[in-house]
Amino acid sequence: MIFPNKKTPIWIILSIDSILLILSILLSYYIRFEFIFNQIKIEILEKYFHQTIIYLFLKAIFFVFFKVYQGIIRHTSIQDVKKIFYAIFLVTVSGFTVNMLLFLFGKPYFLPFSILIIDFLISIFLILGFRFMIKIFYIEIYQKSSDKKEKENIIIYGAGVSGLITKRTIDKDINSNFKIVGFIDDSIKLKNTRLQGVKIYHSRELKTLIKKHNIKTIIIAIQNPDYENKNNIIEICVSNSIKILTVPSSKKWINGDFSTSQIKNINIEDLLGRNPIYLNPEKINNEVSGKIILVTGAAGSIGSGIVKQLANYNPLKTILLDQAESPLYELEQELTQSFQNFNFEIVIGDVSNQIRMEKLFDHFNPKLVFHAAAYKHVPLMEDNPSEAVYTNILGTKNLVDLSIKFKIEKFVLISTDKAVNPTNVMGASKRIAEIYAQSSTNETTKFITARFGNVLGSNGSVIPLFKRQIEQGGPITITDKRVTRFFMTIPEACQLVLEAGAMGNGGEIFVFDMGKPIKIEDLAKKMIQLSGLEEGKDIEIKITGLRPGEKLYEELLSKEENTIPTHHPKILKAKVRNNDSNLKIDIQTLIKLFDSQNNIEIVKLMKKIVPEYISNNSEYVMLDK
């Protein structure tokens, strides 16, 4: 049959279309002969019999060429209508063209012009009429019968193109359990209008609609939302236990098509995201385009994010350095698929290995370095200070020294908010790396530091941990109810790194606007609610106590620093104190202490280099006394 859920076989559609096209040409003659067939008119019909057969065959060719038969009849769309129109129009134009050529050579017409015109109109009417008749029948009989089943009332947030496509997709899916009772939109101009028969409300009316229609689910269908408005909607939904679904970006639609299976639960990253940032692409392009670039820690969250951002600015070649073999392989596969014109090379190596790094610099001769390789986990480095020194400090020193030797143009060090008034070994090691890089700026090589907080979705982020704990049924573990953290998305952080690198003149520490700090406990509760669970009933939150070296609150500037605004509203320049010229000697001594593996002596010297380093909840607190 033509209207059930299964797609009608192509041969049936072709057969019906063929019958309709034959009927169309016969009706054309009948109308042209003024609804009367006499002997003379029958002779005329016989005269054009063979031409008529050829013309029908030509129609079939055009229908096959435009794949008119491929559309699902019960879901006939504007695209299907266009295909039908083009096929019939072009075959009619072909008939006209043949007639004109025959006329120029004094030959009889292929077919009368009147027949061609009448046939064009009747063909359009019959072919489209048949399809829309089936579509109407399907909607009236099958879809309305399915509507009698108990369905869940939902609201679509966004009455634009994406919202319209979402509605059509849900309507077409006979297995969908959704009944759309309205749209909400931020535009006051759309209030009380209708979109395909469904009323549009202003987003401020959401609370009323939830109560009036017993709404249990809302679908966010805006491709580029204002995050403040979106977050207000989400807050209302979370507080009313409304399930939140979201429509993916059109770039993620499968082969350009969108289906209800792609409507997913909203991610906490979407909730914590902010309005998109605006960069100076011309400045970044001038800095990056046509150059060989080295990215260390390229397989990590930030490193890989920087690599993907660089792919948009046509570098001559990008060297992807990391010691993590499997993540590098996965990144290679992703880049090959997503950025086909991106010239890159994978290098496996350890930044702490000076011989390996010198060989790399000598072979590739990069002009820009983005140094993201580092150990970042606070508790692990608290237990292994020598490794923090070896990788975070020696690794940075190796790259800084080689950058000077090989006359690198710019070196961008990726740092962390934990380097500010550090309370742990990891933060102190990153601060020492900052000091070494800052003090190395010269006329040839500019050293720039980019400092920011936690990154959403990164390997070390608390969010993946919470997700795993929720999937396992809990409990969700947090260290302290008072703990707050800054958060930024990976793309946002990496874009700002490129912008800071382009604007830097050497010796600066650029601090990113991280927005408002977020309580980790609130984050955990929101993730529980977005998962459709109830805290204390379905899953519990467990307090485990601060880990060694962990802070309650992160900072982006130390007490002796203040900020200077830059041309970019989300990038500030830290005005930092001058470093003691003897610090480089102390750093050399610190690196040599690696061989002793004496953690106490290592941390003691770190505290001398970074006087503001005061340990917290750590065995090294005794060194502060």
Q: Are strands 317-322 and 344-348 parallel, antiparallel or unpaired?
A: parallel
Contacts of 580 (CB under 8 A, 6+ apart): none
446 sits in which H/E element: strand 446-452
φ/ψ of residue 547, rounded to 5? -85, 160
Read off the tokens for 301.
Answer: 């969250």
| Of residues 154, 214, 239, 243, the one with CA closest to residue 532 | 243
157 forms beta bridges with 184, 220
317 sits in which H/E element: strand 317-322
* CA dist list (Å): 52 to 38, 55, 58: 19, 5, 10
| Of residues 332, 214, 306, the one with CA closest to residue 498 | 306
In three-state secondary structure terms, 215 is: coil
Contacts of 447 (CB under 8 A, 6+ apart): 400, 403, 410, 411, 413, 437, 438, 440, 441, 506, 507
For 56, counting Cβ atoms within 10 Å of its Cβ (0-12 exposed, 13-18 middle, 19+ buried), the class is middle
Burial profile 496-507: b = 16 or more Cβ within 10 angstroms, e = fewer: bbbbbbbbbebb
Residue tagged 């290679």 (tokens):
332
| Of residues 89, 41, 39, the one with CA closest to residue 62 | 89
Rounded Cα distance, 125 and 123, in Å: 5
Cβ neighbour number for residue 618 with a 10 Å cutoff: 23
Per-residue DSSP letter, 456: E
Helices 49-65 and 78-104, interaxial angle, to 10°?
A: 140
Rounded Cα distance, 271 and 444, in Å: 44
Rounded Cα distance, 161 and 253, in Å: 14
In three-state secondary structure terms, 24 is: helix
Contacts of 584 (CB under 8 A, 6+ apart): 436, 439
Greatest Cα pair distance, the chain, in angstroms, is 121
Read off the tokens for 458.
Answer: 């990164």
In three-state secondary structure terms, 448 is: strand
φ/ψ of residue 264, rounded to 5? -120, 165
Residue from 243, 376, 410, 418 carrying the catalytic annotation: 418
CB 613 within 8 A of CB 422: yes
CB 130 within 8 A of CB 16: yes
CA angle (458, 460, 463) in 5-degree steps:
70
In three-state secondary structure terms, 27 is: helix
The question of whether 418 is a catalytic residue gets the answer yes
Tell me which residues are annotated as active site: 418
